[in-house]
Amino acid sequence: MREYEIGRALLEVSALIEDTLAMRRDRESEESLVIPVEPDETALLAAAGELIGRAGRSVDVSFAEHTTRSRDIAGLLRSLVAARGDAVRVRLLFARSAPGWDRLREHLDHPVASEGFDVRIARVPLVDSLVVDGRSALLIADSAIGPQASVTRGTEVLGALSALFAAVWNGAAPVPGRIDWGDRARSEFAGRILRCLHAGMADEVAACELSVSMRTYRRYVAEIMTALGANSRFQAGLHAAELGLLPVLGARGGLPEAAREAGCAQGRTDAPEGSNGTFL
C-alpha cells in the first residue's frame, strides 16, 4: 500500500469512527456494539486498562501524539508484559510528525521504555486507538470540548482498524532504542555513513567520500543495518531519517564539509573504531 493510499485510508477510518460514535452514542447497554466512555482522561485510562487486562493474544496501539495519555497507556502495557511475558504480542505505533516527537525519543531512550513490546514510527498521521485480540477496541477522537471515546466490538470498525494498522506497521520504522555509537568521533562518522545511505550512494562512492576502504565501509554499514533493524541499505537510510538520526547537512547539501574536503584525492584514512574495531 502506497503512502497516499494509507493517508486516504486514514481519512476513511477516521470518518468511520466519527460516524459510528455519532450514530451510536446513546447505546449504553453492555451488549451494545459501541459503549461510550466518559469524556475525561481518567475514564479513558480506566477503559484502556480494562481492555488491556483482558488481552489474551495481542494488543495493537496507535497514538496521534506523544502525551501524558500515551505514556500512561504505555505504562499499562509494560505491566501487562511483566505479568504475561511473551503470551501477549504488544505493538505500538507513533507518528513521526506528531507533536511531542522529541519527548517521545527521550522516553524511548530510557532502558525500560520499550522492553517487552515492539515500537515503530510511522510516516503518516495516526489516530488514537487500542485494539485487543482483534475483538474489541478503544477509539479516541480529540475535539475542542474534550476527548470523545468509545469501546467498540463492531466487526466493521475492527476490520478497518486492523487492516489499517497492519498496512502502516509494515511501512513504519522499528525503533532500535538507544544506540550508542561510542565517542563523538565515532558518532559523527556513523552519521556520515547514514547520510550516504540516505542519499542512495553506491558503496564505492560512499567509501571514497569518507576516505575509507570498501571493506571498512561495508563492515560499518552491516553493523548500522543490524542496529536499525533494516534489511537493506535503502531501508537503513529511510529509517535513519524517520528516527531523526541524520546529521545536519553541510553547506553544499550533502555530507558534512570536512568529509567532502577530504575526498578521494588524499587517500584512505583509518575510520574511528571501538576497542574491537567496530562501532558497537
Domains of the chain: 3-174 (3.30.870.10), 184-262 (1.10.10.10)
Torsion of CA 85, 159, 175, 278, to 10 degrees: 90
Is the confidence at residue 85, as pLDDT, over 50? yes
Can you tell me the distance from the alpha carbon of 132 to that of 154, in angstroms, rounded to the nearest whole number?
13
Q: What is the pLDDT of residue 256?
A: 42
Q: 143 has which bridge partners?
A: 146
Computed over every residue of the chain, the mean pLDDT equals 76
The proportion of the chain whose per-residue pLDDT surpasses 90, expressed as a percent, equals 21
Tell me what the mean pLDDT of segment 32-45 comes to: 85
- Digit-coded pLDDT (tens) for 155-195: 888 998 899 999 989 888 777 555 666 677 777 888 889 88
For the chain, the 3-state helix, strand and coil shares in percent, each to the nearest 5, are 50, 15, 35
**CA Rg, the chain, in Å?**
22
| Residue 115 vs residue 224, higher pLDDT | 224
Q: How many CB atoms are located within 10 Å of the residue 112 CB?
A: 7
Q: What is the pLDDT of residue 33?
A: 80
- Digit-coded pLDDT (tens) for 41-60: 899 999 999 999 999 999 99
| Residue 18 vs residue 53, higher pLDDT | 53
Q: What is the pLDDT of residue 78?
A: 86
The residue type found at 70 is S
Is the confidence at residue 270, as pLDDT, over 70? no
Q: How many CB atoms are located within 10 Å of the residue 71 CB?
A: 15
Is the confidence at residue 38, as pLDDT, over 60? yes
- With b for 16 or more beta-carbon neighbours within 10 A and e for fewer, the 18-33 pattern comes to eebbeebeeeeeeebb
Considering 26-40, 82-96, 106-120, 234-248, the range whose residues carry the highest mean pLDDT is 82-96
Can you tell me the distance from the alpha carbon of 262 to that of 257, in angstroms, rounded to the nearest whole number?
9
User: Which residue is listed with cell 513490546?
Assistant: 117
Q: How many CB atoms are located within 10 Å of the residue 35 CB?
A: 19
Lay out the sheet containing 34-37: strands in order across: 34-37, 146-152, 136-143, 128-132, 58-63, 89-95, 118-122, 173-174
Tell me what the mean pLDDT of segment 240-253 comes to: 62
Q: What is the pLDDT of residue 56?
A: 93
Stated pTM of the model:
0.58
Q: Let me know the angle formed at the C-alpha of 66 by 172 and 151, rounded to the nearest 5 degrees.
A: 85
